[in-house]
């Protein structure tokens, strides 16, 4: 997958890489870009009886802050709040355990293959 285009297009590419990686590791996609209130969660996935809310972060190699480090406490709080709204609006999700994962995608500046770092239960 070429890594180019607008920031929004690159974000979609990173989300697609993350989705594929997580599905290869046994998770099932429930929703993509799930919105509730003013927030959005990149991927909502499931493994057995666990809902997994996934925040995808992408950065180029050599960036001042790595993809994983770019997740602020404020963003974590917003993801938690959005997840709470989503769960309360879906009866099937209300008795499920919830987990918050981060998938950090690091893209080489030379156009090589992106590195994917999956951080389960990250926050």
pLDDT at 111 over 90: no
Question: How many domains does one find in the chain?
Answer: 1
Q: How confident is the model at residue 4, as a pLDDT?
A: 66
CATH for 38: 3.40.1350.10
* Of residues 104, 96, 32, 122, the one with CA closest to residue 63: 104
Q: How confident is the model at residue 3, as a pLDDT?
A: 62
The C-alpha atoms of residue 8 and residue 56 are separated, in whole angstroms, by 13
Task: Tell how far CA 70 is from the center of its chain.
Answer: 13
Q: How confident is the model at residue 64, as a pLDDT?
A: 82
pLDDT at 1 over 60: no
Q: How confident is the model at residue 75, as a pLDDT?
A: 93
Q: Domain residues for 29?
A: 7-119
The reply to whether 71 falls in a domain is yes
Beta partners for residue 100, in sequence order: 53
The reply to whether 50 falls in a domain is yes
């Amino acid at each position: 997958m070429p890594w180019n285009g607008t920031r929004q297009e690159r974000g979609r590419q990173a989300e697609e890489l993350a989705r594929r990686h997580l599905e290869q590791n046994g998770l099932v996609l429930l929703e993509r870009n799930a919105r509730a209130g003013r927030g959005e969660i990149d991927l909502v996935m499931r493994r057995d009886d666990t809902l997994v809310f996934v925040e995808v972060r992408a950065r180029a190699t050599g960036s001042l802050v790595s993809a994983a480090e770019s997740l602020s406490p404020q963003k974590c709080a917003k993801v938690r709040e959005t997840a709470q709204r989503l769960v309360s609006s879906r009866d099937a999700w209300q008795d499920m355990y919830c987990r918050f994962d981060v998938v950090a995608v690091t893209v080489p500046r030379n156009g090589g293959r992106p590195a994917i770092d999956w951080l389960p239960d990250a926050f």
